[in-house]
Amino acid sequence: MIAAYMLLLIPFLGIVFFGLTGHRDDTGKVNIGFNTLSFLASVWLAVKVLNIGSLYSADQAFLIDSFNVYLIMLTAFVGLTTSIFSGPYMAHEKELGKLNDRRLKLYYSMYQGFMLAMYLVLTTNNMGVMWVAMEGATLATVLLVSLYRTPESIEAAWKYFILCGVGIAQALFGTILLYYAAVQIGDSEHALLWSVLYENADKLNPDILKIAFVFLLIGYGTKIGLVPLHNWLPDAHSEGPTPMSAVLSGLLLNDALYAVVRNKMLVDGATQNNSAGLLMMGFGLLSFLVAAVFLHRQKDIKRLFSYSSIEHMGIMTFAFGMGGPLATFAALLHMTVHSLTKSAIFVTVGHAAQVAGTQDIKKIRGLIKTQPKIGWGLLIGTVAIAGFPPFGVFTSEFLVLLATMHNYPWLAPLLLLGIGIAFAGLFRHIQPMVFGEQPEGQMPVKANLWPVMLHLGLVFWLGLAIPDFLANWFSQATLLISGTTPL
Amino acid sequence: MNIEQQDFYTQAILSMAALIGLASFLMLGQGRLLRLIFVFALQGLLLTLTAALSAYSLNNHHLYISAGLTLVLKVMFIPWMLRRQVLAMHMNRDVEALENKTLVMLGGASLMVFSYYVLHPIVQSSSTIMVNALAVSLSIVLLGMLLMISHRQAVAHVVGFMSIENGLFFAAIVATNGMPMVVELGIAFDVLVAAVLFGIFFFHIRTSIDSLDVDRLNRLNEVDQ
């Protein structure tokens, strides 16, 4: 359990350190150092779970099981590679005069604050603390969205603050209802502990839990970016600094979905049917289709990919909602590969925007001629996220499709149609950006692309083969969520 | 069961619920910002009393801490901060014209009815006090949202946001005798940080659009210009 405490302590020290020391030229490297330590702690935790199974802390405040351990590792990994990218990126932004030392100090301490909130969401066993950490993540990132202090970024941050704040307040009402149902069957001290609730799920009042789940889904769904609560997401992604878009898309959305799924498991236990899942399926499918259509009309490259995030979160919500071993397994895999691919794409998008000096899609042209590595990175990343074989996204989307054909065959055409629309939407924008004629005024930037290659390499590998320990975690988590193993 | 037959605690809590709900309605129809902030502070005070009453009657000492936190945060700190902003911006004499006050108030009333309807399935398994308290707190949450939709000033949005928190806090005290301590402290911390951030944002919004009228934050949208 020491590893879990370390995981929370390191980013906390990071906030204090960056807050006290201010910004210096090597702060980016120190940030990498903190994230490396967190990553090592997460690996240590993973190895322990691998050897001895689920871990509980002595007072049951923390719980690490096969469902969250891989998300913890993924969070630490994406946090690390994004910090490697953000050092030179932020230095470049400072050279352009967009940021000063004080803002960079804020950036680095809030980066660690965000990581702390994410680790807390994943490790805690207390549904109330999970809510607190989720709201904490909003507060930590609000300042990052407005980092450039342009009118647009202030507007985006305000929208994000208000919409996510109000949204997540609904989740708190859901949590209070859950607690209300729980105190009726047990002692109030442990009534919000997930492990206790899960064991006694069949005794909880199903009527109360059904109502609670509506609030929880709307609340955390705002953070997942489910349509029609998604308005903050493209704005926040497009106006904030790019490394933050990478962690928002790669981590925050996943963790919000994680919170919904944990709650769904309780509701399923109480109601003994899949009524909660049907709700998730509806929201997921709607988000997926709407986002796919909106991909076509984007003008800003970061908005383009934030709609792609909404689309993929829609698929995951749909798959988790459908339930059953195959769909759940596919959703877990999709969470992983989407995080890896999307954060890699945002890294290249950040560089591409710096090369062209703008985020306007019409003005970004001929990347392969200016700086081939960035051009190819963007192209391969897009190929991967659009779900081409042999990348991992193909595998998980294929499995979702398979499960849909088996359980709800009449929905499969909709899913296929959405994937087709999304594919066309992405490539009509990407093709000229990568292959088009090189315009005047482009300047190569110092780019650090090995995080991208590493991520895409991993996604490629996951498309061909899933390593034993990961497959094992996925199956155990599937067993936990849906009651049967997929394999 | 008639209300006269309930014990004193139940009667007191139900009256509190009515008063807190009333405060939400008062806020909803309020056009002047300073008065809006005053009513908000009043609602905070009623919540503090509810928490203290609950702590005393049920002998639940940790609720005294919640009451103290509410008093400091929602009755003193946040209204003080908002008031200072309003005075600094010289908005204290502005009357914010609500688009259609009657419609907004009718909407508020329907939301309250809706809250009772939504929580109806719980009735069978709960006492009067639970159902009333939960329904009132849900309607405070919804009224807070309506307040945010109908008003245009950023200050009113913050009041709406914080009154949503009030509704949630009321549900936590009355329905469940307070959440576990660690959760309550965490929520109070979040509210405090949010309040400070709102203060920072007022400053930035003011410098960026020279007003706190949030309707003028409209650069980002999906509509073709």
Could you write out the DSSP letters of every residue in B109-127? HHHHHHHHHHTGGGGGGS-
For residues A118 and B60, the model is more confident at A118
Task: Return the CA Rg of chain A.
Answer: 21
Q: pLDDT at position B42, please?
A: 95
What digits encode the pLDDT tens for the residues B162-201? 999 999 999 888 887 778 888 888 888 998 999 889 888 8
Q: pLDDT at position A382, please?
A: 94
Interface of B with A in 66-125 (CB under 8 A): 118-119, 121-122, 124-125
User: In this complex, is the C-beta atom of B219 within 8 Å of any C-beta atom belonging to chain A?
Assistant: yes
Question: What is the CA B136 to chain-centroid distance, rounded?
Answer: 11
- B118 to chain A, closest Cα gap in Å: 8
Name which of B147, B198, B208, B214 to mutate to probe chain A: the one with the most chain A Cβ atoms within 10 A of its Cβ. Answer: B208
Buried b (16+ CB within 10 A) or exposed e, A435-460: eeeeeeebeebebebebbeebbebbe
Name which of B176, B198, B209 to mutate to probe chain A: the one with the most chain A Cβ atoms within 10 A of its Cβ. Answer: B176
Residues of A in contact with B208 (CB under 8 A): 149-151, 154-155
Q: Which residue of A has its CA nearest to B140?
A: A173
Non-local CB neighbours of B71 within 8 Å, separated by 6+ positions: B44, B45, B48
For residues A435 and B100, the model is more confident at A435
Closest CA to A313 of A293, A274, A342, A279: A342
Question: Quick check: B182 and A188 CB within 8 A?
Answer: no
Q: pLDDT at position A380, please?
A: 93
Pseudo-torsion of CA A230, A232, A236, A237, nearest 10°? 10
Residues of A in contact with B118 (CB under 8 A): 211
Q: What is the mean pLDDT of residues B40-63?
A: 90
Interface of B with A in 127-166 (CB under 8 A): 130, 134, 137-138, 141, 144-145, 148, 154, 157, 161, 164-165
Q: pLDDT at position B221, please?
A: 72
Q: pLDDT at position B87, please?
A: 87
Query: Which residues of chain A are under the pLDDT cut of 50?
Result: none
Closest CA to A442 of A386, A376, A363: A363
Name which of A116, A180, A290, A302 to mutate to probe chain B: the one with the most chain B Cβ atoms within 10 A of its Cβ. Answer: A180
Q: pLDDT at position B125, please?
A: 65
* DSSP code, position B74: I
Cis bond upstream, residue A390 (ω within 30): yes
Residues of B in contact with A191 (CB under 8 A): 180
Name which of A162, A227, A275 to mutate to probe chain B: the one with the most chain B Cβ atoms within 10 A of its Cβ. Answer: A162
Backbone angles phi, psi at A173, to 5 degrees: -60, -40
Question: Quick check: A170 and B141 CB within 8 A?
Answer: yes
- B22 to chain A, closest Cα gap in Å: 20
pLDDT of B113 over the 90 cut: yes
**Contact yes or no for B204/B180 (Cβ under 8 A):** no
- B218 to chain A, closest Cα gap in Å: 8
Question: Quick check: A159 and B134 CB within 8 A?
Answer: no
Q: What is the mean pLDDT of residues B103-132?
A: 84
pLDDT of B63 over the 80 cut: yes
**Contact yes or no for B160/B151 (Cβ under 8 A):** yes
Q: pLDDT at position A439, please?
A: 78
Q: pLDDT at position B122, please?
A: 79
Q: pLDDT at position A487, please?
A: 64
Residues of A in contact with B214 (CB under 8 A): 158
